[in-house]
Structure 1
């Protein structure tokens, strides 16, 4: 036993070599006692009738089923406690309370499979701790909290599962002289027999996230966007089929979102946007309704809109899905927006996406009749640069940046939606994700997590997270019926120290989810 040498030295110093004699009071049955020490073996329970000045106690093969709170309150002077070859399997909170002078605690070769996180509370003088040769698969986080004098810990002989539960132990460094014994991993298989002190904390992925349902807004919508007004975040829901927008704000008293305002007004239909059309009315900031509602109308009509700013001038691209339509670039000039360039006619474009590649503005158009086409800004106008191979029937496009690279999410209604990465000359296929009635494949950066949500009209919508080590989107969770019906757009907003995800639904009410961070090492 690791503590045997220390125990013998301590007992010798305490006068064990002298003649054995009972302490003040009675020496319990099956115990051998001297003035300062006691050794008990085979007792059915914890003996208690020791001298209050007892310094050293060894309990061997007792019949105690568990160590309960206050088990040693009648021995306040103990400096050393040895518990070995006992049958108890649980140590409860405050089991050693009252032992403020205890320096050596050896709990070895027992049947312990569980130890409470506050089991060692109050041991402010403890320097040596051994939990060797038990059945511990993990230690509770903060087990050593408050043990500022602890310098030696022995954990050998336990079947530790080296998952996120051991992370806190690997990061625990209370003093410069701390020494952790040769504890080893019993699992998982890849880490079997690995010594604890050889594990790298950086390799453990112990942070998880979850989107949980928070609130339902009994209004359907085709678009949802956050905006700020008077320093407060707001959300606008575009409802082009009702000719209005709804603005939601946070109710601090109820801790929920509530409707603040309704803005009416029928935005123009994309069919009214040829070169000879009248100018689109501009809207003074911060009211976002015309922009959001226009985006919603375009989505309803199977078209798309992409905002753009060039040389301080606000512009946007309208992707026209009509058979004889022409995608148009419109820019603000005085009181309204006027056509600046007509491009990509007769291709039934369904979506437009403005993005920056190689330091220059680019425009990506998704089409019902051909592969997505990439334009770049050259000489004050958009010029065709290339198309995207292996991509047919793409309904919508959305891009995001991560690790200095540009990724593209391509939405396909039936088949496989795709993730692509820019290689400097074109977008290359990175992965394919099965789609079932998808109208939206939207990337969102929430806190530190790059997510992408693939909506579905027929099944559960899928939430993916980008894994930086792999550079791929990995499944995270599902958002499903009956609450989420025909999602068309997603947006997130931070409010009152919390993060929320809004899902605008075409055939059902808008759904709100809360973003939670989970610590798997706890």
Structure 2
């Protein structure tokens, strides 16, 4: 503190000591501890090896200088509840515990200065409801615990200067707290990190701190390998459905609230299945099972008290080797589009007509389509098809059918496409097995290249919006899969985490589900069991 602060403390000490009264006072015998000098209302202790205790309970002012106390413990001042001023200076203690000043409900001035304190507990100041002046100046504090000042509504002056504060995420709460209080706060300068050394804390912008992190941690494994995974809500309960070709089934999972795990709920027989696509219409549940051989099927559950049963064989002459299936809504009616990868088959749009789904349009014949993606551009439905034989082609819904609009330049050998929206823009994630996978952005007439990401053995580049995070996972058959996050200020995907062997092997699809306040990521793997990860938010400012 400066000279003005020192004068303030001296005046307070004189006032509380009754200076100028002209009457000398001696305390009752035994009430002034060794190493202390006492007057009627005040005491000053210097060089005491421990915290003095035998003070008068009516003491108003106490100064402790160069004591040998290693720490200020809880309830240290319960015997002197009338204190109005408490000063520590040049002491050796290094920590102040929770509730160190409990019982001092009348304390107005607390000066803890020029000590060796490196730590103060978050509840150390609890109960000081009359405190107006607080000084922690010139100590060894690199950070302060969040909520340290909670309940101190009467504060008018706070001095934190002279501490080697590390201006990282741990000071973010302090920067956010200062503008919210009616108190003058002296913070001093940063001691680190190097980029901020000597910068005044009061000049830091809280918006520049990136103090929220996320982490995906393993949660559960689900038996067989899978090619696709989808989430859906039925009867207000979240479910997942996996396409498991080697087990020959679509496996529906639900959440077991007692075991806190995902458990199988129902199995649909579907040999060589590549995609299980759910559709919920009120109490009715449909599942399209796209199969490489034996014909694709539609399963149906008319009401919640029944089980799913085969309902319809879908376009047996057109769907010869499906590779992907997507759900879309056209003119307020549900439709499926099934991408066919055979030379003789045809990607087909199937729409609801009466009780079943029937071909509405054949698209892209002879091009061996590997993936379909439904999206909305300029307020209209669009469909993007990726093929083994040409660049991805974009169709738009016009006059009751899909018409070719454009293709995507600079995008050869694209295996699959997925889109996401952020900041009013539409982005594409284009998966390439060999070469660089790509991120593109719609400019109003064309998708333009925004970013390239090295990918080796990738079959999936899946964007996912989990909580507030726009993520994208670039899978790999040969290396670790990369979890990336969109950084809004840069407009680019940045590396966040790696997921890989031995758990995650040859991923083919990702999906997430939120339930009971928890968020889970499913990873369908072709060469291993499906892995479930839990999404955690980490507050680095805590």
Asked if these proteins are the same fold (TM beyond 0.5), I'd say yes
Give the unaligned 5+ runs of structure 1.
274-278
The residue that corresponds to 2:373 in the other structure is 353
The residue that corresponds to 2:493 in the other structure is 473
The residue that corresponds to 1:13 in the other structure is 15
- Deviation (angstroms), 1:197: 2.9
1:136 aligns with 2:138: no
The residue that corresponds to 2:263 in the other structure is 258
1:329 aligns with 2:331: no
Q: How does 1:41-56 map to 2 (within 5 A)?
A: 41-56=46-61
The residue that corresponds to 1:276 in the other structure is none
The residue that corresponds to 2:171 in the other structure is 166
Matched residue SS, 1:397: strand
Q: How does 1:482-497 map to 2 (within 5 A)?
A: 482-497=502-517
The residue that corresponds to 2:274 in the other structure is none
- CA separation in 2, counterparts of 1:367 and 1:442? 18
The one of 112, 117, 120 aligned to 1:112: 117
Change (3 A) 1:357 1:28: same
- Deviation (angstroms), 1:128: 0.7
- Count of residues in Structure 1 that have an aligned counterpart in Structure 2: 513
- Deviation (angstroms), 1:464: 1.2
Change (3 A) 1:301 1:57: farther
- Deviation (angstroms), 1:398: 0.3
Change (3 A) 1:195 1:507: same
Determine if contact 2:178/2:185 at 8 Å carries over to the other structure. no
- CA separation in 1, counterparts of 2:412 and 2:34? 86
- Deviation (angstroms), 1:220: 2.2
- Deviation (angstroms), 1:83: 0.7
- CA separation in 1, counterparts of 2:174 and 2:116? 21
1:157 aligns with 2:140: no
The residue that corresponds to 2:518 in the other structure is 498
- CA separation in 2, counterparts of 1:355 and 1:423? 15
Determine if contact 1:19/1:34 at 8 Å carries over to the other structure. no
Matched residue SS, 1:172: helix
The residue that corresponds to 1:205 in the other structure is 210
1:303 aligns with 2:323: yes
Q: TM-score, normalised by structure 2?
A: 0.87
Q: How does 1:283-432 map to 2 (within 5 A)?
A: 283=300, 303-432=323-452
Change (3 A) 1:74 1:308: closer
- Deviation (angstroms), 1:301: 5.8
The one of 34, 40, 52 aligned to 2:39: 34
The one of 19, 23, 27 aligned to 2:27: 23
Determine if contact 1:486/1:508 at 8 Å carries over to the other structure. yes
Matched residue SS, 2:207: helix
The one of 216, 226, 229 aligned to 2:231: 226
Q: Alpha-carbon deviations, 1:2-57, whole Å to 9, x = none?
A: 54222221222232455765422343333222121122222222222322222111
- CA separation in 1, counterparts of 2:302 and 2:195? 57
1:86 aligns with 2:91: yes
Deviates more, 1:18-27 or 1:48-57: 18-27
- Deviation (angstroms), 1:102: 1.3
Determine if contact 1:23/1:50 at 8 Å carries over to the other structure. no
Give the unaligned 5+ runs of structure 2.
272-288
- CA separation in 1, counterparts of 2:180 and 2:510? 48
- CA separation in 2, counterparts of 1:150 and 1:288? 66
- Deviation (angstroms), 1:306: 2.8
The residue that corresponds to 1:239 in the other structure is 244
- CA separation in 2, counterparts of 1:123 and 1:133? 22
Q: Alpha-carbon deviations, 1:256-301, whole Å to 9, x = none?
A: 111122222455645788xxxxx9657456888989x99xxx9996
Q: How does 1:451-462 map to 2 (within 5 A)?
A: 451-462=471-482
- CA separation in 2, counterparts of 1:112 and 1:512? 45
Matched residue SS, 2:328: strand
Deviates more, 1:463-472 or 1:236-245: 236-245
Change (3 A) 1:321 1:69: same
Change (3 A) 1:347 1:449: same
Change (3 A) 1:51 1:331: closer
Determine if contact 1:245/1:264 at 8 Å carries over to the other structure. yes
Q: Alpha-carbon deviations, 1:103-122, whole Å to 9, x = none?
A: 10001111111111111122
Change (3 A) 1:484 1:4: same
Deviates more, 1:231-240 or 1:168-177: 168-177
- CA separation in 2, counterparts of 1:86 and 1:226? 61
Matched residue SS, 2:364: strand
Q: Alpha-carbon deviations, 1:466-504, whole Å to 9, x = none?
A: 111111111121222212222211111111221111112
Change (3 A) 1:224 1:289: farther
- CA separation in 1, counterparts of 2:474 and 2:244? 21
Determine if contact 1:25/1:49 at 8 Å carries over to the other structure. no
- CA separation in 2, counterparts of 1:16 and 1:463? 70
- CA separation in 2, counterparts of 1:457 and 1:5? 72
Determine if contact 1:222/1:299 at 8 Å carries over to the other structure. no
Q: TM-score, normalised by structure 1?
A: 0.90
Matched residue SS, 1:303: strand
- CA separation in 2, counterparts of 1:377 and 1:419? 24
Determine if contact 2:77/2:102 at 8 Å carries over to the other structure. yes
- CA separation in 2, counterparts of 1:299 and 1:432? 33
CA RMSD across the alignment:
2.8
- CA separation in 2, counterparts of 1:86 and 1:262? 71
Deviates more, 1:436-445 or 1:258-267: 258-267
Change (3 A) 1:339 1:518: same
Q: Alpha-carbon deviations, 1:397-425, whole Å to 9, x = none?
A: 00011111000001111222111111112
The residue that corresponds to 1:178 in the other structure is 183
The residue that corresponds to 2:284 in the other structure is none
